[in-house]
A and B are shown apart, each in its own frame.
Chain A
């Protein structure tokens, strides 16, 4: 975070293990929260909130994938399928049993965790590219099952409309209301991840990532922790899928196809594998950059093209610039935006006396 850290002495283990070891870090977190809870919703137009809402949902999904890929080192290209598992579980519960979101949301997450743990079983025998193909298979199998099981998908259209979530009798439907709904879960996901990765479980994950045989020798139960990693990651994915479902008002598996899995992989690779801040930055980057590029092209493209031609140009330019920027960022810093941020921070940490 943004602070200097000289003159801080830790005198107990509890202080050493604190989530925010420095007092100023707590203040920074409080200030950031204040911005997100008060300043942004009051000052931004609904459109910008809708963009932030999409980012918030993506953050939850990216965090989950980062636990699996970044922290445990198990590659997965089936993340979107677990989202659809969560989405359909929640939608069926909400429509057929009329359950509120605070029941359907954890239920969707748990169901995704269960399926995720089953899908994770091959990871006990295979890794790397082989595991990628195994998870790719699970993505396709889950898609197929949803598409062909009316009991899950709710009919030929494979989409189930869900009612808007209600909190204390208030129906959340505007972008501003949904913003707080999504923000709460995004913050919860961030805090939970921060705590998971610095706990015994998180350290076991990192040990498995760095060298799984060594991890087994020092007594980490590989079977348990690999499956646990898949389950936790899928839980996040399931919750992310439920959030999508409530945000759009519909569960539709066509919104969770293989390209979405790839998008999430891109998020964590651009953001930085094995870091919480990296997941957040990656989600912001992948969701907002295309929009920002489009706005810039729209603002300045008028000098070069007429309106009708500009539409075609803007669409293509966006893809080209987006691809270029990803390459540039990864060439500048292969470990992602998180590392880039840390480099900048380390530079200013001792600035202007950098010697």
Chain B
């Protein structure tokens, strides 16, 4: 099992139902990508610092910024309030998808394909989002629910642009 997926599974066991976004989501959808050792996830109910500390998580201040690490040393970012690339957290969770990650039927929940594409398209970083979009276009274009993507976007010009982007990147 990929180390990030193993870690995602551990986090799910420790913190309850969470929806992974970013690296883990791309990895689960494409099985084929490069990711750094940090995990981002969305959760409806905010987790307190005490709760995290009780479960063995570490909160440290580095370069005047607070960072949270899992008991195994993976950095995590938790999204519970602010939208992710203008997609509300509730929507990300509602449209999320379960992935069976081993032969014991263990499940990791991650952002749905359509929300992930929209988030990556809006984030628009050439070093991260463009290669991820290309990978998603090559591996998953045939699985996209276009109606759902359109309703998540809510903007016909953005949708037209996403379509052209995915068509071109998938070739």
Whether chains A and B associate is no
Footprint of B on A, CB under 8 Å?
none
